Structure 1
Amino acid sequence: MAMNRRTFLGLGAAGAVAAVHAYGAPAATAFPSAPAFSSTPAFPSTPAAAPTRRFAIGVREYAWSRGNRRLTTRIFYPATGNPGGNPVVGAPIADGVFPICEFSHGLGGNPESYAPLIRPLAEAGFVVPAPVFPTTSSGTQGNIQDVYNGNQSKDVSQVITNTLALNTTAGDPFAGHLDTTTGVGVAGHSLGGMTTHGLLTAWPDSRIAAAVPFACVDMGNPGTTVRANVLFVHGDQDSVCQYSSARQAYTELPAPKAFLTHRGTGHDQYIWSGYNHTQTVATYVDWMRWSLYADTAARDRLRADATSGTTTTTWEAVLTSLPTGPTVSLRSRGNGQYVCAENAGADPLVANRATVGDWERFDLVDLGDNNVALKARANGRYVCAENAGADALIANRTAVGPWETFRRVNNSDGTVSLRAQANNQYVGAANNGTGPLTANRTAIGPWESFDLTTG
């Protein structure tokens, strides 16, 4: 556990607070402690077919516990009836077998306050247990230590165990309706996002097949027993949970993984209706459908559903392929020489070639919204502008993220300029073409302008 990497949250970190709704609850039941998890979870290759319709939402409450910790849990689920209304207490569960996707609220919140993230999952065909954490929910003192000491992550594991047990509990409405072999999903925001990340790291639960931590911080080194598809969602101006900490957490996890950045926003605006809410929910539901239903159509929607003018996405081992585009060469207006990626992976890009060969050809990959990536034809690697302004562009990346994404600018003289998405600086050819290309220019001139030719 890397305690020194964590960002401690003040008591101001919270999801929106809402009144706790009273639901009819079965008698309190103390389930056994969560078992020791296998290091090789047996997830089947053919989970249930993904639903093709929206469901109405039902909700039931269970009075569970872990030791002396009360874990009131409201389970939202696909129900019979017409979709679009509020959750109906005790509604009959819809026909079918559904994956489980737990949700953890933020500090001062509860399941109702996170309806924008819980209801879409239930409507899409997931059973969503949402615990009310005993020390960080609305009306409590807000003991955030229960996140850092692992209590909340362990609570979630207990809730997963209890929910799975309902599938074989005689007389329970969920009996026979829960997918107990595909693996489970987990998600949460703020303290709930940290709780989620803790289940992948310091307090691992190998039953987890998919995770979406919203606005989390790094809770430790990845566990070796968890094999999960992980989507991070974060605002790059988050003053509560540092964006850099979530990026570090992302870097440390193995693929498949992705990171959805909401540029220019803070801790939670993208969750509620309005600012990029549509992109957040669509991407999140796509992720769970792909991970737990093997829904390849949802996987293929990810890029489009995540895209807006103020979002940035990083994908690793997620998409089967990126869109294709024409093969192009770029000739600098500053010296009339072509950009070359010779020895890509070792040497930077330079604009010093008089003729076009394999090392001067790039696939211009259309990423949508006038964004492109450049893939060197000679080695199949993407051009990267990481540390632009200090380091040169180099064609050595196997995946496309913010530093491999460029905004195409069509200039009035017919040339094209490229602006790195990650820092909004233009690509320029330095020192009359003898120096490497860098993305550190704030204005467009001859050295930032390129003639684009195809073939």
Structure 2
Amino acid sequence: MPIRRRTLLGTFLGLSAAGAGAPLLGAGPARAATSSLDAPTQRFAIGVREYAWSRGSRRLVTRIFYPATGSPGGNPVPNAPVAGGVFPVVEFSHGLGGNPESYAPLVRPLAEAGFVVPAPVFPTTSSGTPGNIQDVYNGNQSMDVSEVITRTLALNTTAGDPLNGRLDTTVGVGVAGHSLGGMTTHGLLTAWPDERIAAAVPFACVDMGNPSSRVTANVLFVHGDQDPICQYSSARQAYAELPAPKAFLTHRGTGHDQYIWSGYNHTQTVATYVDWMRWSLYADTAARDRLPADATSGTTTTTWESTLTPPLPGTVVSLRSRANNQYVCAENGGAGQLVANRASVGPWEQFDLVDLGGGGIALRSHANSQYVCAENAGAGQLVANRTSVGPWETFQRVNNADGTVSLRAQVNSRYVTAPNGGAQPLIANATTIGTSESFDLVTG
């Protein structure tokens, strides 16, 4: 059954495995932190302290994981001494039937990287509870998180607490969560907004409502496009509604949570997520610049929108089809299809070739500053009509032995062809490379 906004998902929602153990940048303003703190360059050991908090009658046992003294790489040490320094706060919300420990693959890397991570045990959706997912849809869990954030930040001035003076309370906070916890996270940006949030990473969430103008956050979505529990299209809708800066990391051919645990794309997930928080809360430009490489694998696709700096110009190129020796044109100022029908080069025949990493490229037309798209998932003709880059706007560059290039659309793994000797609009539907799929790449 399709998942619609604020529609119950059923009692199976949560984590199925928990019990087992150079970017494309848009022109929008960045919201990176203005923190005066230097981003840590070393990994930390991890300490953990437990706090028995509450919100009204709701008991909020919260385990706070933090950078600790000692050698990195081991298990969290209860009540270990806090490492020297001042650290930003990133809250983490578990999924249905989970707890902070079951989400160690997402909690521990944050603490190791220099974040204080409060992780509440939700009173009705953690392991051993009735699993009342209504507490997500009625806002209880999002409000629980706001309470946990308030209590955590208060420790910075609590006499005798080890975290006294160790929390950066000036740059806002981060929030993250998976599944039901991802929905809780998205709720803090929408129906139950918390203005303190500067960065958010909802994993496998569904759309919980319209964005609130009260929240200004950098938001990274992470989702498998074959998720049978939290519908991918609902997360894409949530993503589309939010203002930039934002990004969406898609794990292609993947379900609800495989990319979180060790193995399948776990490395890409964790690296992208941690560096997103480092950029957002430490103003770590090195982490920002690592994001494209972090996210890249043979089965991932990433959309970046107005993320960090002005747009990269790319290399100015024109494409001349070997089928007829004519240049590819963005017809009608970019509003029409791409056709190889021009004998000379002007703005309609010029494109910025933007390197997305991993052999991926995008083409931005000079006619209208829009990206070339393989319409209808590659079944339609190529059109320069998109303001951002996703799978339909991503192509793999193939360098042919004769010096020409071919373009393989990521969305369907088919080659771009100039049909009928170049007389018809370009389409991504060829399974092999021939003359009609070969182009001279002319720079300048």
Instruction: Give your verdict on TM over 0.5.
Output: yes
2:198 maps to 1:206:
no
Q: RMSD in angstroms over aligned alpha carbons?
A: 2.3
Q: Deviations over 1:125-179 (max 9, x none)?
A: 1000000011111111211111111111111111111111111111111111111
**The residue matched to 1:328 in structure 2 has which SS?**
strand
One-letter amino acid of the structure 2 residue matched with residue 285 of structure 1: V
User: What residue in structure 2 maps to residue 135 of structure 1?
Assistant: 124
Q: Deviations over 1:218-275 (max 9, x none)?
A: 1111111110000000011111111111111100000000000011111111101111
Write the mapping of 1:142-291 to structure 2, written as runs, cut at 5 A: 142-291=131-280
Q: Find the residue that maps to 2:105 and give its secondary structure.
A: helix
2:411 is aligned to: 422
Matched with 2:14 is 14
Contact 2:32 2:279 in 1 (8 A): no
Deviates more, 1:169-178 or 1:246-255: 169-178
1:388–1:114 Cα change, 3 Å: closer
CA contact (8 A) 1:417 1:426 kept: yes
CA deviations on 1:49-82 (whole Å, 9 max, x unpaired) are 2112111110000011111111100000011111
What amino acid does structure 2 have at the position aligned with 1:281?
V
Equivalent residues, number: 432
TM-score normalised according to structure 1 size: 0.89
Mapped to 1, the partners of 2:186 and 2:171 lie a distance apart of 20
Which letter maps to 1:141? P
2:27 aligns with none
Which of the residues 15, 18, 35 maps onto 1:46?
35
Distance in 2 between residues matched to 1:19 and 1:160, nearest whole Å: 29
Deviation digits for residues 354-391 of structure 1, max 9, x if unmatched?
22333323232222222111223455443222424454
What whole-Å deviation, never above 9, does each CA across 1:388-431 have from its counterpart, x for those lacking one? Answer: 44543223444333222101223455432212112323222245
Cα distance, 1:93 vs structure 2: 0.9
Distance 1:307 1:43, change over 3 A: closer
Aligned to 2:28: none
**TM-score (ref. length: structure 2):** 0.91
Deviates more, 1:314-323 or 1:103-112: 314-323
1-structure distance, mates of 2:120, 2:75: 19
Distance 1:301 1:7 in 2: 37
Q: Which whole-Å CA distance do the structure 1 matches of 2:382 and 2:302 have between them?
A: 20
* Residue of structure 2 equivalent to 1:28: none
**SS of equivalent residue, structure 2 residue 272:** helix
For the residue of structure 1 that corresponds to 2:110, the secondary structure is: helix
- 1:281 shift after superposition: 0.4
- For 1:72, the equivalent position in structure 2 comes to 61
Partner amino acid, structure 2, of 1:10: G
Q: Given that residues 33 and 283 in structure 2 are in contact (C-alpha distance below 8 angstroms), is that contact kept between their aligned partners in structure 1?
A: no
Question: Which amino acid is the alignment partner of residue 14 of structure 1?
Answer: G
Paired with 1:443 and 1:320, the residues of 2 have a C-alpha distance of: 38
8 A contact 1:384–1:403 mirrored in 2: yes
Judge conservation of contact 2:35–2:281 (CA < 8 Å) in 1.
no
Q: Tell me, yes or no, if the aligned pair for 2:175 and 2:185 is still in contact at 8 Å.
A: yes
Match for 2:111 among 116, 119, 122? 122
TM-fit CA distance, 1:324: 6.3
Greater CA deviation, 300-309 or 426-435? Answer: 426-435
State how far apart, in whole Å, the 1-side matches of 2:333 and 2:36 are: 41
Match in the other structure for 1:84: 73
Partners of 1:186 and 1:56 lie apart in 2 by 21
Q: Secondary structure at the match of 1:116?
A: helix
Whole-angstrom CA distance in 2 between matches of 1:8 and 1:160 = 27
CA distance in 2, matches of 1:243, 1:370: 26
For the residues of structure 2 that align with 1:4 and 1:279, how far apart are their CA atoms? Answer: 29
Matched with 1:32 is none
Task: Give CA-to-partner distance per residue, 1:167-212, whole Å, 9 cap, x none.
Answer: 1111111111111121000000010001101111111111110000
Q: Distance in 2 between matches of 1:398 and 1:319?
A: 16
CA gap of 1:67–1:251, structure 2 versus 1, over 3 A, is same
Stretch deviating more after TM superposition (142-151 or 410-419):
410-419
**Structure 1: unaligned runs, 5 residues or longer:** 21-41
Shift of 1:352: 0.6
SS of equivalent to 1:121: helix
> 2:324 matched to 1:315?
no
Would you say the 8 A contact 2:97–2:131 is kept in 1?
yes
State the SS of the aligned residue for 2:59: strand
CA distance in 1, matches of 2:261, 2:273: 14
1:290 is aligned with what amino acid? W
1:386/1:293 Cα in 2 relative to 1: closer, same or farther (>3 Å)? farther
Q: In the alignment, which of 393, 398, 406 is matched to residue 404 of structure 1?
A: 393
Q: Secondary structure at the match of 1:61?
A: strand
